[in-house]
Amino acid sequence: MQKTSKTYELFLSVTPGLEEFAKEELKELIRYEFFNSIECNNEAGLLLKSQDLFSLLTLIKYLKIPTRALLRVEEFKARDLPKLYKKLSKINWNDYIPTTDFEFKVSSHNSRLFDDRKIIKAAKDAIADYQKAQPFKAKYNELTWSHPPIIFIRFEEDMCQVSIDCSGERLDKRGHKIFTAKAPMRESLGAALIRFINSNEEKGYTLLDPMAGSGTILSEYLFQDQVNSKRHYNFENFPLFRKQAAQKVNILNDEIQRKALANDIDRDNIKAIKENLEGFDLEVTHGDFFKMEELSENNLVIVCNLPYGKRIKTQKNIHEFVNDFYAKAQKLGAKSAYAVMPETFIIDKKFKAMRSQRINNGGIWVQFVKVSYN
């Protein structure tokens, strides 16, 4: 651990409805010794604090639910543009963004400064003047950024909060999924679904996704014990992070054997699944789920991101389709079946359904719905 006298703050951005899943994930991670210097303030949102910057930023690689991580770098009161410029020009930008290519996102509420264009101009001028007076080292010109750094400037009651995005690409872009299908599910939603299943099932179940698409749900199931190391994060370019002594971290049990089955009616999706999940214990079949024969798997759990009737249409009424899905899962010998569906979908009362909280999936409010066959 490399603690300093300064306390760093990391704010995690989460899809509405996934907050509780994210909090559960954080509670599990900060129990590990490597992360035990991190304080999690759930009362103020998903805000993490630590004097150990290396551990705080390394934690990002282990997160499955959040979509972005923002490092708070400064907070001050500013009621006019000259004061804003002065405060911003005093931030040691070379600790975080040794580049002239960056973007801004501005928000303002109940503050005298509210014009995005004027705020951004003051910020650009302040950073440009800082970098002119204190040029960053030439070696940083060779760094590659997955996405230009984003500087977030947020005003609330004249208090200005400045944060820098640590993610680069969204955190739900894992880096190991090469091919996608039509209307793919975000990996963060898939990870939350797996957490929902794990909390309701005994260990050792076999997971079947009969309409697997490009394999997002199964990918999150099989990769759940692995660090997200197959992509680049912008924080890895922060000079303040790079000068920390590298530490080997391996806290997850990535040797757990999990069994999964994938099926899809689209041959292109079958090819994508095989490419995306090469190397895992995965049986892949091609065909119509509703024509599948009973499986001999013990402890079988079936899961599916059902068509919403928007981008992917169904030949029958969507409510009928949903209930046929649960009926077919029972015929295949599943102990339970889970589906992601809009909250408006109607499930027959003959099924003992348990619903999760509402989740905003790209503007559509959905739920995880479990049906048990005990």
Q: What is the pLDDT of residues 244-272, one digit of tens each?
A: 766 666 666 656 778 999 999 999 999 99
DSSP 8-class letter at 345? -
pLDDT for 130 beyond 90: yes
Per the structure block, which two tokens stand in for 374? 């005990």
Interval 133-145: pLDDT, tens: 999 998 998 899 9
Q: pLDDT confidence of 184, banded at 50, 70, 90? A: confident
Q: Which helix (H) or strand (E) holds 29?
A: helix 19-29
Nearest by Cα to 263 from 240, 291, 296: 291
Alpha helices in 112-254 (DSSP H): 116-133, 187-198, 216-222, 239-242
Q: pLDDT confidence of 292, banded at 50, 70, 90? A: very high
Interval 229-247: pLDDT, tens: 889 999 999 999 988 766 6
Q: pLDDT confidence of 175, banded at 50, 70, 90? A: confident
Interval 35-89: pLDDT, tens: 989 998 765 569 999 999 999 999 999 999 999 999 999 999 999 999 999 999 9
DSSP 8-class letter at 63? -
Alpha helices in 174-287 (DSSP H): 187-198, 216-222, 239-242, 267-276
Give the Cα separation of 357 and 188 in Å (integer). Answer: 15
Q: What local confidence, expressed as pLDDT, does residue 229 receive?
A: 84
112 vs 81, 84, 155, 156, 159, CA distance in Å?
10, 12, 9, 10, 10
pLDDT for 112 beyond 60: yes
Q: pLDDT confidence of 146, banded at 50, 70, 90? A: confident
pLDDT for 362 beyond 90: no
Residue type, 33: E
Q: What local confidence, expressed as pLDDT, does residue 250 receive?
A: 62
Give the Cα separation of 7 and 217 in Å (integer). Answer: 37
Average pLDDT over residues 291-308: 91
Please give the backbone phi and psi of residue 180, each rounded to the nearest 5 degrees, phi first.
Answer: -125, 165
DSSP 8-class letter at 145? -
Q: pLDDT confidence of 111, banded at 50, 70, 90? A: very high
Q: What local confidence, expressed as pLDDT, does residue 309 receive?
A: 60
Q: pLDDT confidence of 4, banded at 50, 70, 90? A: low
Determine what percent of the chain is predicted with pLDDT higher than 70: 91
Q: What local confidence, expressed as pLDDT, does residue 246 receive?
A: 62
Q: What local confidence, expressed as pLDDT, does residue 182 receive?
A: 67
